[in-house]
Protein backbone atom coordinates (compact mmCIF):
# COMPACT_ATOMS: atom_id res chain seq x y z
CA UNK A 1 0.00 0.00 0.00
CA UNK A 2 1.20 3.49 -0.85
CA UNK A 3 1.48 5.89 2.08
CA UNK A 4 1.71 9.63 1.43
CA UNK A 5 2.43 11.99 4.32
CA UNK A 6 1.66 15.65 3.93
CA UNK A 7 4.73 17.88 3.92
CA UNK A 8 5.28 19.37 7.36
CA UNK A 9 2.94 16.93 9.09
CA UNK A 10 3.76 16.25 12.73
CA UNK A 11 2.80 12.62 13.32
CA UNK A 12 2.30 11.24 16.80
CA UNK A 13 3.84 7.97 17.95
CA UNK A 14 0.56 6.13 17.33
CA UNK A 15 0.29 7.56 13.81
CA UNK A 16 3.86 6.51 13.02
CA UNK A 17 2.99 2.99 14.22
CA UNK A 18 -0.10 3.09 12.00
CA UNK A 19 2.02 4.08 9.00
CA UNK A 20 4.29 1.12 9.66
CA UNK A 21 1.26 -1.18 9.67
CA UNK A 22 0.03 0.18 6.34
CA UNK A 23 3.39 0.00 4.58
CA UNK A 24 3.82 -3.65 5.55
CA UNK A 25 0.45 -4.59 4.06
CA UNK A 26 0.71 -5.84 0.44
CA UNK A 27 -2.56 -4.59 -1.01
CA UNK A 28 -3.69 -2.05 -3.59
CA UNK A 29 -4.44 1.28 -1.94
CA UNK A 30 -3.13 4.68 -0.98
CA UNK A 31 -3.22 6.20 2.52
CA UNK A 32 -3.15 9.98 2.82
CA UNK A 33 -1.84 11.02 6.24
CA UNK A 34 -2.81 14.36 7.77
CA UNK A 35 -5.41 15.24 5.13
CA UNK A 36 -6.86 18.79 5.26
CA UNK A 37 -10.60 18.72 4.55
CA UNK A 38 -13.67 20.82 5.25
CA UNK A 39 -14.02 24.58 4.78
CA UNK A 40 -10.66 25.91 3.55
CA UNK A 41 -8.98 22.73 4.86
CA UNK A 42 -9.75 23.65 8.46
CA UNK A 43 -10.40 20.07 9.60
CA UNK A 44 -7.54 17.61 9.97
CA UNK A 45 -8.21 13.92 9.34
CA UNK A 46 -5.55 11.51 10.54
CA UNK A 47 -5.78 9.31 7.44
CA UNK A 48 -7.91 8.87 4.34
CA UNK A 49 -7.46 5.45 2.72
CA UNK A 50 -8.50 4.92 -0.90
CA UNK A 51 -8.76 1.46 -2.44
CA UNK A 52 -10.12 0.43 -5.85
CA UNK A 53 -13.47 -0.29 -4.17
CA UNK A 54 -14.02 2.60 -1.76
CA UNK A 55 -12.84 5.18 0.77
CA UNK A 56 -12.55 5.12 4.54
CA UNK A 57 -11.56 7.89 6.93
CA UNK A 58 -9.48 6.88 9.96
CA UNK A 59 -9.04 8.47 13.36
CA UNK A 60 -5.84 7.14 14.94
CA UNK A 61 -5.68 7.16 18.73
CA UNK A 62 -2.71 6.25 20.89
CA UNK A 63 -2.48 5.87 24.66
CA UNK A 64 -0.68 7.81 27.36
CA UNK A 65 0.19 4.70 29.31
CA UNK A 66 0.07 0.92 29.03
CA UNK A 67 -3.60 0.04 29.33
CA UNK A 68 -4.79 -3.51 28.73
CA UNK A 69 -8.09 -5.27 29.17
CA UNK A 70 -11.63 -5.29 27.77
CA UNK A 71 -12.64 -2.33 25.63
CA UNK A 72 -16.13 -0.98 26.33
CA UNK A 73 -17.84 1.65 24.18
CA UNK A 74 -21.10 2.84 25.76
CA UNK A 75 -23.44 4.96 23.70
CA UNK A 76 -22.57 8.62 24.22
CA UNK A 77 -20.29 7.94 27.18
CA UNK A 78 -16.50 7.74 27.66
CA UNK A 79 -14.67 4.71 26.35
CA UNK A 80 -13.28 2.45 29.04
CA UNK A 81 -10.75 -0.36 29.24
CA UNK A 82 -11.46 -2.82 32.05
CA UNK A 83 -13.80 -0.30 33.72
CA UNK A 84 -11.13 2.45 33.66
CA UNK A 85 -11.39 5.49 31.36
CA UNK A 86 -9.32 5.07 28.20
CA UNK A 87 -6.47 7.58 28.41
CA UNK A 88 -5.78 8.61 24.82
CA UNK A 89 -2.70 10.57 23.84
CA UNK A 90 -4.89 13.43 22.52
CA UNK A 91 -7.88 14.94 24.28
CA UNK A 92 -11.14 14.69 22.32
CA UNK A 93 -14.02 16.95 23.25
CA UNK A 94 -17.33 15.10 23.15
CA UNK A 95 -18.07 11.62 21.92
CA UNK A 96 -15.26 10.00 19.85
CA UNK A 97 -17.93 8.44 17.62
CA UNK A 98 -19.33 11.86 16.75
CA UNK A 99 -15.79 13.09 16.06
CA UNK A 100 -15.29 10.23 13.59
CA UNK A 101 -18.64 10.88 11.96
CA UNK A 102 -17.75 14.55 11.43
CA UNK A 103 -14.49 13.50 9.79
CA UNK A 104 -16.33 11.21 7.38
CA UNK A 105 -18.78 13.99 6.52
CA UNK A 106 -15.95 16.49 5.93
CA UNK A 107 -14.18 14.10 3.53
CA UNK A 108 -17.42 13.47 1.63
CA UNK A 109 -18.22 17.18 1.38
CA UNK A 110 -14.71 18.06 0.20
CA UNK A 111 -14.84 15.51 -2.63
CA UNK A 112 -18.34 16.56 -3.70
CA UNK A 113 -17.22 20.21 -3.92
CA UNK A 114 -14.46 19.04 -6.26
CA UNK A 115 -17.15 17.40 -8.43
CA UNK A 116 -16.00 13.90 -7.46
CA UNK A 117 -18.66 11.38 -6.55
CA UNK A 118 -17.29 9.74 -3.38
CA UNK A 119 -20.03 7.14 -3.04
CA UNK A 120 -20.41 5.67 0.44
CA UNK A 121 -17.51 6.60 2.75
CA UNK A 122 -16.80 4.44 5.79
CA UNK A 123 -15.10 5.43 9.01
CA UNK A 124 -12.80 3.60 11.44
CA UNK A 125 -11.26 4.51 14.76
CA UNK A 126 -7.88 2.79 15.04
CA UNK A 127 -6.63 2.32 18.61
CA UNK A 128 -2.87 1.77 18.76
CA UNK A 129 -1.83 0.44 22.18
CA UNK A 130 1.74 0.03 23.37
CA UNK A 131 3.49 -3.02 21.96
CA UNK A 132 2.90 -6.09 24.06
CA UNK A 133 -0.40 -4.75 25.43
CA UNK A 134 -3.62 -6.60 24.60
CA UNK A 135 -6.91 -4.73 24.28
CA UNK A 136 -10.01 -6.75 23.47
CA UNK A 137 -12.29 -6.96 21.63
CA UNK A 138 -10.05 -6.19 18.72
CA UNK A 139 -12.95 -4.92 16.61
CA UNK A 140 -16.35 -3.40 17.42
CA UNK A 141 -19.10 -1.96 15.26
CA UNK A 142 -20.04 1.59 16.26
CA UNK A 143 -22.70 2.53 13.75
CA UNK A 144 -23.55 1.34 10.24
CA UNK A 145 -20.37 1.85 8.22
CA UNK A 146 -18.27 2.81 11.27
CA UNK A 147 -15.98 0.54 13.26
CA UNK A 148 -13.32 0.69 15.93
CA UNK A 149 -10.39 -1.70 15.83
CA UNK A 150 -7.18 -2.30 17.75
CA UNK A 151 -3.91 -2.70 15.86
CA UNK A 152 -0.20 -2.14 16.14
CA UNK A 153 2.83 -3.23 14.15
CA UNK A 154 2.96 -6.64 15.88
CA UNK A 155 -0.76 -7.40 15.66
CA UNK A 156 -2.33 -5.84 12.58
CA UNK A 157 -4.60 -8.77 11.64
CA UNK A 158 -7.85 -6.89 12.31
CA UNK A 159 -6.63 -3.89 10.32
CA UNK A 160 -5.85 -6.10 7.34
CA UNK A 161 -9.23 -7.81 7.57
CA UNK A 162 -10.94 -4.43 7.70
CA UNK A 163 -9.09 -3.05 4.68
CA UNK A 164 -9.98 -6.17 2.71
CA UNK A 165 -13.69 -6.00 3.45
CA UNK A 166 -14.81 -2.50 4.46
CA UNK A 167 -16.17 -1.88 0.96
CA UNK A 168 -17.73 -4.51 -1.24
CA UNK A 169 -18.45 -2.25 -4.22
CA UNK A 170 -17.09 -2.60 -7.76
CA UNK A 171 -13.59 -1.43 -8.71
CA UNK A 172 -14.68 2.11 -9.56
CA UNK A 173 -11.64 4.06 -8.25
CA UNK A 174 -9.17 4.24 -11.11
CA UNK A 175 -5.72 5.81 -11.00
CA UNK A 176 -7.00 9.09 -12.44
CA UNK A 177 -9.90 9.33 -9.93
CA UNK A 178 -7.56 8.65 -7.02
CA UNK A 179 -5.14 11.34 -8.22
CA UNK A 180 -7.99 13.86 -8.49
CA UNK A 181 -9.22 12.92 -4.99
CA UNK A 182 -5.73 13.45 -3.56
CA UNK A 183 -5.66 16.95 -5.03
CA UNK A 184 -9.06 17.75 -3.55
CA UNK A 185 -8.05 16.48 -0.10
CA UNK A 186 -4.90 18.61 -0.04
CA UNK A 187 -2.62 15.63 0.50
CA UNK A 188 0.62 14.48 -1.04
CA UNK A 189 -0.39 13.09 -4.43
CA UNK A 190 1.19 9.90 -5.81
CA UNK A 191 2.05 9.86 -9.48
CA UNK A 192 -0.10 8.00 -11.98
CA UNK A 193 2.73 5.55 -12.59
CA UNK A 194 2.90 4.76 -8.87
CA UNK A 195 -0.85 4.15 -8.73
CA UNK A 196 -0.76 1.87 -11.75
CA UNK A 197 2.20 -0.05 -10.36
CA UNK A 198 0.37 -0.45 -7.05
CA UNK A 199 -2.57 -2.13 -8.81
CA UNK A 200 -5.08 0.61 -9.62
CA UNK A 201 -6.85 0.29 -12.96
CA UNK A 202 -6.13 2.71 -15.79
CA UNK A 203 -9.80 2.66 -16.80
CA UNK A 204 -12.81 1.40 -14.95
CA UNK A 205 -13.35 -2.25 -15.85
CA UNK A 206 -16.62 -3.10 -17.50
CA UNK A 207 -19.12 -5.28 -15.73
CA UNK A 208 -18.58 -8.91 -16.76
CA UNK A 209 -21.11 -10.18 -19.28
CA UNK A 210 -22.22 -13.81 -19.28
CA UNK A 211 -20.38 -15.90 -21.82
CA UNK A 212 -22.00 -18.25 -24.29
CA UNK A 213 -20.89 -21.17 -22.13
CA UNK A 214 -22.63 -19.70 -19.07
CA UNK A 215 -25.79 -19.15 -21.09
CA UNK A 216 -25.72 -22.77 -22.26
CA UNK A 217 -25.45 -23.92 -18.66
CA UNK A 218 -28.62 -22.04 -17.74
CA UNK A 219 -30.71 -23.34 -20.67
CA UNK A 220 -33.33 -25.86 -19.52
CA UNK A 221 -33.03 -28.96 -21.73
CA UNK A 222 -36.13 -30.12 -23.61
CA UNK A 223 -37.82 -33.19 -22.11
CA UNK A 224 -37.08 -36.51 -23.77
CA UNK A 225 -39.90 -38.34 -25.62
CA UNK A 226 -41.57 -41.07 -23.54
CA UNK A 227 -40.27 -44.60 -23.97
CA UNK A 228 -42.34 -47.49 -25.29
CA UNK A 229 -42.77 -48.93 -21.81
CA UNK A 230 -43.97 -45.61 -20.44
CA UNK A 231 -46.47 -45.27 -23.30
CA UNK A 232 -47.85 -48.78 -22.71
CA UNK A 233 -48.16 -48.19 -18.98
CA UNK A 234 -50.00 -44.92 -19.55
CA UNK A 235 -52.53 -46.52 -21.90
CA UNK A 236 -53.10 -49.39 -19.45
CA UNK A 237 -53.83 -47.00 -16.61
CA UNK A 238 -56.21 -45.04 -18.84
CA UNK A 239 -58.08 -48.24 -19.85
CA UNK A 240 -58.48 -49.37 -16.24
CA UNK A 241 -59.80 -45.95 -15.24
CA UNK A 242 -62.25 -45.94 -18.15
CA UNK A 243 -63.46 -49.46 -17.31
CA UNK A 244 -64.04 -48.42 -13.68
CA UNK A 245 -66.13 -45.46 -14.80
CA UNK A 246 -68.28 -47.74 -17.04
CA UNK A 247 -68.88 -50.20 -14.17
CA UNK A 248 -69.98 -47.37 -11.89
CA UNK A 249 -72.40 -46.04 -14.50
CA UNK A 250 -73.89 -49.54 -15.01
CA UNK A 251 -74.45 -49.98 -11.27
CA UNK A 252 -76.14 -46.59 -11.02
CA UNK A 253 -78.40 -47.28 -14.02
CA UNK A 254 -79.36 -50.73 -12.68
CA UNK A 255 -80.29 -49.28 -9.31
CA UNK A 256 -82.49 -46.65 -10.91
CA UNK A 257 -84.26 -49.23 -13.12
CA UNK A 258 -84.93 -51.57 -10.16
CA UNK A 259 -86.42 -48.79 -8.10
CA UNK A 260 -88.79 -47.65 -10.90
CA UNK A 261 -90.11 -51.28 -11.58
CA UNK A 262 -91.54 -51.80 -8.07
CA UNK A 263 -95.08 -50.29 -7.57
CA UNK A 264 -95.48 -47.82 -4.81
CA UNK A 265 -97.25 -49.21 -1.72
CA UNK A 266 -100.44 -47.46 -0.60
CA UNK A 267 -100.71 -46.65 3.07
CA UNK A 268 -102.72 -49.32 5.01
CA UNK A 269 -106.06 -48.25 6.53
CA UNK A 270 -107.81 -49.89 9.47
CA UNK A 271 -111.47 -49.93 10.52
CA UNK A 272 -110.97 -51.13 14.07
CA UNK A 273 -112.31 -48.86 16.77
CA UNK A 274 -110.50 -48.39 19.98
CA UNK A 275 -112.88 -49.51 22.78
CA UNK A 276 -113.82 -46.91 25.31
CA UNK A 277 -113.21 -47.60 28.98
CA UNK A 278 -116.23 -48.79 31.08
CA UNK A 279 -118.02 -46.18 33.13
CA UNK A 280 -116.79 -45.63 36.63
CA UNK A 281 -118.97 -46.94 39.39
CA UNK A 282 -118.09 -46.45 43.05
CA UNK A 283 -117.94 -49.58 45.23
CA UNK A 284 -118.93 -49.64 48.84
CA UNK A 285 -116.32 -51.29 51.04
CA UNK A 286 -116.65 -52.79 54.55
CA UNK A 287 -113.96 -53.87 56.92
CA UNK A 288 -112.20 -57.11 55.95
CA UNK A 289 -113.89 -57.11 52.49
CA UNK A 290 -111.76 -58.61 49.69
CA UNK A 291 -111.09 -56.85 46.39
CA UNK A 292 -111.74 -53.47 47.87
Percent of the chain at pLDDT exceeding 90: 37
* Model pTM score: 0.68
pLDDT at 118 (0 to 100): 92
Mean pLDDT score of the chain: 84
Max avg pLDDT among 31-45, 119-133, 270-284: 119-133
For the beta sheet containing 84-85, the strands, ordered from the edge strand earlier in sequence to the opposite edge, are: 84-85, 80-81, 69-72, 135-136
Residue 43, strand partner residues: 37
pLDDT at 26 (0 to 100): 86
Instruction: Tell me, letter by letter, the H, E, C secondary structure of the chain.
Output: CEEEECCCCCCCHHHHHHHHHHHCCCCCCEEEEEEEECHHHCEEEEEEEEECCEEEEEEEEEECCCCCEEEECCCCCCCEECCEECCECCCCCCCHHHHHHHHHHHHHHHHHHCCCCCCCEEEEEEEECCCCCCEECCEEEEECCEEEEECECCECHHHHHHHHHCCCCCCCCCHHHHHHHHHHCCCCCCCHHHHHHHCCCCCCCCCCCCCHHHHHHHCCCCCCCCCHHHHHHHHHHHHHHHHHHHHHHHHHHHHHHHHHHCCCCCCCCCCCCCCCCCCCCCCCCCCCCCCC
Q: How far apart are alpha carbons 174 and 53 in whole angstroms? A: 9
Render pLDDT for 20-34 as a digit per residue (tens, 0 to 9): 999 888 889 999 998
pLDDT greater at residue 271 or residue 246: 246
User: Residues 67-83: what's their mean pLDDT?
Assistant: 86
CA-closest candidate to residue 58, choices 67, 68, 40, 46: 46
Q: How far is CA 274 from the centre of its chain?
A: 93
- pLDDT tier at 58, thresholds 50, 70, 90: very high
Render pLDDT for 96-147 as a digit per residue (tens, 0 to 9): 888 899 999 999 999 999 999 999 999 999 999 998 888 888 788 888 889 9
User: Residues 34-52: what's their mean pLDDT?
Assistant: 87
pLDDT at 91 (0 to 100): 77
Q: How far apart are alpha carbons 237 and 235 in whole angstroms? A: 5
CA-closest candidate to residue 36, choices 48, 45, 27: 45
pLDDT at 53 (0 to 100): 92
Contact call for residues 176 and 196 (beta carbons, < 8 A)? no
Per-residue buried b or exposed e for 188-220, using 16+ beta carbons within 10 Å of the residue's own CB: bbbeeeebeebbbbeeeeeeeeeeeeeeeeeee
Render pLDDT for 158-216 as a digit per residue (tens, 0 to 9): 899 999 888 877 889 999 999 999 999 988 889 999 999 999 999 888 766 555 566 56
- pLDDT tier at 267, thresholds 50, 70, 90: low
Q: How far apart are alpha carbons 119 and 101 in whole angstroms? A: 16
Render pLDDT for 220-249 as a digit per residue (tens, 0 to 9): 666 767 777 878 888 888 888 888 888 888
Amino acid sequence: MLVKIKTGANLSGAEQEFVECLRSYPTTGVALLDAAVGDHGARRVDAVILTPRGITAADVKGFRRRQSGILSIPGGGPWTISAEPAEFDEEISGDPVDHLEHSVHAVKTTLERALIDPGHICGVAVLVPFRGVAVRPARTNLRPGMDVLVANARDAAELRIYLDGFSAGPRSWTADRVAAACDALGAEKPSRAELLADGFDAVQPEAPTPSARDLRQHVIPAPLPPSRRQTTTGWAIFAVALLGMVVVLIVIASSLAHDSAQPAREPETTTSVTPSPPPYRPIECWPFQTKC
